Every structure is written in C-alpha cells, then in structure tokens.
Amino acid sequence: MKNYEKLIVGALICLLFFLWPAAAEEASGNSPASVADSYRDAANRIIEAAMMDRGAWEKLEYLCDRIGHRLSGSPQLERAIEWAASEMRKDGLQNVKTPPVQVERWVRGDESAEILSPIRKKLHMLGLGRSVGTPAEGIRGEVVVVRNFDELAGLGRDGVAGKIVVYNVVYEGYGKTVKYRSSGASKAAKLGASAALLRSVTPVSLQTPHTGATRYSEGVERIPFAAISIEDAKLLQRLTHAGKRVEIQLNMDAHTFPPTTSANVIGEVVGWEKPDEVVVIGGHIDSWDVGQGAHDDGGGVVVAMQAAKLLLDLGLKPRRTVRVVLWTNEENGLAGGRAYREWIGDEIVRHKAAIEMDSGAEKPVGFGLGIRRDDLTQHDADQAFALVSAIGDLLSPVEAAEVVKGGGGADISPLMREGVPGLGLRTVGKHYFDWHHTEADTIDKVNPEDLRTALAAMTVMAYVLADMPGDLLPPATLP
Ligand SMILES: [Zn+2]
C-alpha cells in the first residue's frame, strides 16, 4: 500500500470506531436523540388533544360524585369496577376483563372520641383501617401523650399500662412519619395500653383527621387505634403538660369480616407489531371510606382510562400493547397488585414497563424511573435513564419534562421486584398530603388543567415506551 492509501484505510478505521457505538444504538432504534426526534410530532399531537380533553374530567366527575368513595368490600367499589369496564368497552378498548381478586373487608361502623375531663369536648377522629373496635360500652381511660417512640419506651409499662396512648408526632414527611400509623398500636399494646390515638399524618389540618391502614404485630394484643386532628392532638398535649389528668371515652364499632371478592379492571390498546409485549399504565380503583378518593386515586384511574381512549382517537396504535390496569384494594391490602402479578404468570418477561399514577392529580412535573435489576451493567441502566429522560423532554411544552432516578408505585411494586422497569408520575406535591385519606379528598381539589396535563404526560410516556423500536432494557439474564 502506498502511504496515502494507508492514510485512507487508517482514517476509515478511526471513523468506524468513532461511529460504531452510535450505530449499535441506532440499530436497536433507541438512541435517546433518535427517540426524541422521531416521536416529537406524535407527542405534540397527543399533548394538543390531551390539553383539550374533557373525557377524563367527565369520568372523574362520575366516579367521585355518582359513585363516591370505594373501600374494599363496599358496594361502591364493585359499582366503580363495573362502570370502569363498561366505559372501557364504550371507548373501544379491547380485551376488557375484570379478573376476580379476594380482598380484605374492614368496616368502620359508628365511632366517636370525647374528652371527659378536665373539659368535655368531642374529638375530630377517624378510626384507622384494620383497627379492632372497642367493647360496646367503649373504652374510658386516662391519656398519656408522647411525641415519639422513644418517649413511649421511656415511660415503660408503669407509665402506660391501662392508659390511652396519644402519639402527638410532628409530621416530617409521609414516608418518615407513617410508621407511627403502621406500628403505633402494637408498640403501645406491648406496654399494656388500652387504646391508642394518632395525630394525623399530614403537614396541615383544618380539624381534618386522616385515616389509613394500620398493622398489628403477631402475638401482641390488638387494641383500638384511631387518628385525631392535629389541633386535637396538640390540645391533649397542652392539657397533660399543664399537669391535668385527662380522661377520654373512645367508642369504635369497627369490624373485620371474612375476605370478599373484588376485581382488577383491565383493557387494552393492542399493539400492531408485538401484541404480546406490554406496557402497563394505571392507578388503583379502591379508596378509603371517606371523601371521594379524587386525588387518591380517582385521578390516576381516569387518566389511565382516557390515555387509551386518546391513542385510539388519534389513530396512534403502538407497536406493543398498552394495557390499562385499575388495581383493586391498594389501600388496605395491595391484593390487586399481587393478583395482577399472579394473573400474568410467565407473561411478566414480556412486560416492558409499568407506569403508575398514584401521587395525586396536582400539576405534574415529570416521572421517576425505578429499575431493580442486579444483572444490568451501569451502561444499560444509564442508557435506560437517558431514554426515559429523552421521552420526558417531549413533555417540555407542558412543563412535565423532569425525569429523576427512583420511582414507581405500590401496585406495580410486585412487577418491579421481578425486574420490570417502573415509572411513577410526579407532581408538585404541594397539597396532596393535606387531603390524603380524609373527607376533604374531593373533586373540587382537582384542577382540570392539571388533570389534562397528567393525561398528556401519561399518554406520551406510555405511547413512546410501547412504540419505540427497541426495548428499554436488555432481557434479564436468568440466574
Ligand atoms: Zn393511592
């Protein structure tokens, strides 16, 4: 070879090495840049349609105002399930199904709490889900107020036995403070308490008690456990601090009945090329037995339903199947999420992603991406994050472009544990926990514009993940 020929061959080799990694990503069709480019037009069409959509709001209005709250085991939940399936059929979704799920059945019954001395005053209270009731005559007892588990332990059995423990715990974020709701009853019962009351797990209160599920430890006496408002918890703290003997009367007619049959609701936009590959999108159709379950999780339910309708209306049939799943019994059992995992069996390996909206329907800011796969290389994980970030960028017109690491949802956690990448819609989260699990979680707290933005975000993310040529992650290598 002559010198100039060597130069040309050398240059060609250099060029090949320079282009090869990009070419490999191009071959899978999934370079973040190419995904962003090739889906910008479709994303803009979805956003335009979503921001004019009325259907999601109409569905939310029906669910909230005409059906109402829907706790597991209630007739309203079963009505909501029937209604959602029939709406899906009307909207043209395919393979609409309601596979049965056995769920817990807890019924609150009549309940009240009252200070008897040194003043007489009714407390703003809500029994906690799964709590046992009191005897028919109620429980009357002296109050002992603690600000955390350490203070409780410090009192010991002598300070607690036979008394009603009040946890006046300052809110430090839901994830951190909710442990008092989960395990407060059993911790107090171990020291001989007759009942327990919990300052509601919330940053803000207008005398609003917040319910939610509690858990009893095995082998520990089950004592009644109820939430009270922040104001009432602080009042009890002040009265006892002033050295007063504070006495309370607690009556709860709560009962746990044998499990009953509910159902998940499933409907599909079937993929044109790989119909057996699935991107799941959804929220939970059950709620607590107060308010309307508008933010938790009516918004997630109607947005997932309407996202499928939007794709059908726009003629955007994706390569893979977009499957809407409305899980039952998220609030007190998570049976719907577990049943869905069982229901799909081996199909889980063809689940390419699962997206849940269950952080309320406030103004969306983007998504969190959670990946739990030990076999992934850092490069694969980084590539997946870059891809989802590129899809997120398509949501810049509605200011919902931010993608962060870590996310998912309770109902998709059984899928994520087995390696399915999970995404959760993230919002500004300004007021969600002010309303969460209260009488105040009603549709008037939902801004229609925010709901439309959530619809845009969920539809774009679901569509691109289901339609892009390559997979978000390489297939799992089985151990
Ligand atoms: Zn929820």
What string of DSSP letters covers 294-330?
Answer: IIIIIHHHHHHHHHHHHHHHTT---SEEEEEEEES-T
The pLDDT tens digits for 350-407 are 999 999 999 999 999 999 999 999 999 999 999 999 999 999 999 999 999 999 999 9
Radius of gyration of the chain (CA): 26
- The full set of domain ranges for the chain reads 29-106+260-467, 112-253
Measured in Å, residue 296 CA sits from the centre of ligand 1 at: 4
0.85 surpassed by pTM: yes
Ion ligand 1 residue ranges (Cβ < 5 Å): 296-297, 358
Measured in Å, residue 71 CA sits from the centre of ligand 1 at: 12
Six-digit token string for 287: 């709620």
Q: Give the per-residue pLDDT at 20.
A: 44
Q: Give the per-residue pLDDT at 26.
A: 43
pLDDT exceeds 90 at position 179: yes
Closest C-alpha among 127, 195, 132 to residue 162 = 195
Measured in Å, residue 410 CA sits from the centre of ligand 1 at: 8
Q: Does residue 263 contact residue 326 with C-beta atoms inside 8 Å?
A: no
Q: Give the per-residue pLDDT at 475.
A: 87
What percent of the chain lies above the pLDDT cut of 90? Answer: 91
- Euclidean distance between CA atoms 180 and 148, whole angstroms: 8
Q: Taking the CB of residue 88, how many other CB atoms lie within 10 A of it?
A: 24
> CATH code for 112-253?
3.50.30.30
The pLDDT tens digits for 23-64 are 444 445 578 989 989 999 999 999 999 999 999 999 999 999
**CA-angle at 232, arms to 230 and 236, nearest 5°:** 115
Instruction: Calculate mean pLDDT across residues 145-161.
Output: 98
Q: Give the per-residue pLDDT at 24.
A: 43
- Domain 29-106+260-467 matches domain 112-253 at the CATH topology level: no
Mean pLDDT score of the chain: 94
Amino acid making up residue 165:
V
Instruction: List C-alpha distances in Å: 277 to 262, 315, 470, 476.
Output: 27, 19, 12, 15
CATH class name, domain 29-106+260-467: alpha beta
Give residue 21's pLDDT band: very low, low, confident or very high (50, 70, 90).
Answer: very low
Measured in Å, residue 453 CA sits from the centre of ligand 1 at: 19
Measured in Å, residue 436 CA sits from the centre of ligand 1 at: 8
Measured in Å, residue 38 CA sits from the centre of ligand 1 at: 34
> Annotated active-site positions, please?
330
